[in-house]
Amino acid sequence: MRVFKSVWQRYAPTPEIAWLLEQFRQMLNDCIRIGLAENVTSLKSLSLKAYRQLSGYDVASYYKSCAISAATGILRNYRKAKRKNPCVKEPYARRPRLTTCYGFKVRDGELSLPIRAREHVRIYLNQHLQATINDFALRSVTLTKDRLSLAYTNEVQQLRPRGFIGIDRNLDNVTVAATDGTVQQHDLSEATRAKAVYRGVRSHFKRNDVRIRREISGKYGQKQRDKVRQILHRASKSIVEEAKAKQYGITMEKLTGIRKLYRRGNWQGRWYRGRMNSWSYAELQRQIEYKARWEGLPVIYVHPHGTSSRCSICGEHMKPEENRMLQCPSCGYMVDRDVNAAKNILVAGTLRFGVVDLAGEAVVAASATVRKSAKSMRGS
């Protein structure tokens, strides 16, 4: 199985690179415009329609293909979004961002990038980046106006898991329940505090004001996201290391967009909370997934329905108690709600994978027939 990772560093674009980024942005917008006007969806037909239009750009031809392929992806996402919401805005690339799989080379600690035919620029790569990519094949380069990111790839054998871990993400922690019965919590309150710094920024504006959107997607938001990302990296690293040591697969909830994002009433506005949280929930999953795949650990997603309200032992609807505890009216099980959710996710994943004898009591909860026999066993 081929797996990917990426690593980035800051850099200062030379005038040639800044020029290339701007050319790429314009080509991308040309392709998007053509795709929208001609209602083209496939890469092949967009290539046929757009390639000649791009002939006026004096850049290496790799970039024309890359712009067409990037535009195809953007158009596909746009069509998908439009089916759900007909008012969605037509796509337009405002920021410079270039990704290429072709034409670049890394040699002697430098990245060499074509600008035009037989004309290259070099960018110095820092020690950390050089050491990271050292043993691997390179896949692509992405440049923005201040960052350079390299994607690299490896071939791994997928492990046959000896068990699973179920991961439940909450506002302030991530809770991990494992097949061997252990439960671990990683504190994420520091990330919540980093996100909270927005409060000061946004309190001056009305909700959904265009200025707030700019703040959150702008330079200030970038800083906060970097901070949160770093905190999530610590948690995801330790979770995957633990899973690797035990040779366990990973089960997470499929993010449906609404669950939990609006749950807690506090000073945060609902709009802000949804936006920042959905990003950080997705970011943690993204990190865990690519780190786990890199190690050959299987990753599966389960539907979140009922994970926070169902008893992880017998499957009954739980009653909330004080201090974030839940109690089951049927079997009497008393448990922290985050732990219960993680256990339910573990059960769902274990069942999905078809390994029924791995999780002991936990497996019983999600299967109606097994549940009955478990009840009668307890009764006797």
The reply to whether 362 sits near Zn ion by the rule CB under 5 A is no
The reply to whether 328 sits near Zn ion by the rule CB under 5 A is yes
- Phi/psi for 19 (5° steps) reads -65, -45
Question: In this chain, which of 261, 314, 326, 348 binds Zn ion, going by CB under 5 A?
Answer: 314
Helix residue ranges, H only, the chain: 15-38, 43-50, 61-84, 127-133, 189-196, 198-202, 210-217, 219-246, 270-294, 337-352, 361-364, 368-379
| Cβ–Cβ under 8 Å, residues 106 and 112 | yes
Q: Which is nearer to Zn ion, 8 or 333 (CB)?
A: 333
What is the pairing mode between strands 110-116 and 137-144? Answer: unpaired
Minimum Å distance from CB 161 to Zn ion? 27
Which of 8-16, 84-92, 93-101, 330-338 is the region at the interface with Zn ion (rule: CB under 5 A)?
330-338
* Secondary structure (3-state) at 254: coil
Which of 19-27, 264-272, 286-294, 322-330 is the region at the interface with Zn ion (rule: CB under 5 A)?
322-330
Helix axes 210-217, 270-294, angle to 10 degrees: 20
Q: State the burial class of residue 198 (Cβ atoms within 10 Å of its Cβ: 0-12, 13-18, 19+).
A: buried
Distance CA(202)–CA(224), nearest Å, equals 14
Q: Which is nearer to Zn ion, 297 or 328 (CB)?
A: 328
The reply to whether 330 sits near Zn ion by the rule CB under 5 A is yes
The reply to whether 67 sits near Zn ion by the rule CB under 5 A is no
Q: Which is nearer to Zn ion, 136 or 333 (CB)?
A: 333
The reply to whether 331 sits near Zn ion by the rule CB under 5 A is yes
Minimum Å distance from CB 365 to Zn ion? 8
Which of 187-195, 242-250, 286-294, 305-313 is the region at the interface with Zn ion (rule: CB under 5 A)?
305-313
Question: In this chain, which of 150, 311, 335, 364 binds Zn ion, going by CB under 5 A?
Answer: 311
Question: In this chain, which of 313, 355, 358, 359 binds Zn ion, going by CB under 5 A?
Answer: 313
The reply to whether 347 sits near Zn ion by the rule CB under 5 A is no
3-state SS track over 54-106: HHHCCCCHHHHHHHHHHHHHHHHHHHHHHHHCCCCCCCCCCCCEEEECCCCEE
The strand pairing partners of 310, in sequence order, are 317
Minimum Å distance from CB 310 to Zn ion? 9
Minimum Å distance from CB 378 to Zn ion? 10
Which of 45-53, 97-105, 275-283, 310-318 is the region at the interface with Zn ion (rule: CB under 5 A)?
310-318
Q: Which residues bind Zn ion (CB under 5 A)?
A: 311, 313-314, 316, 328, 330-331, 333
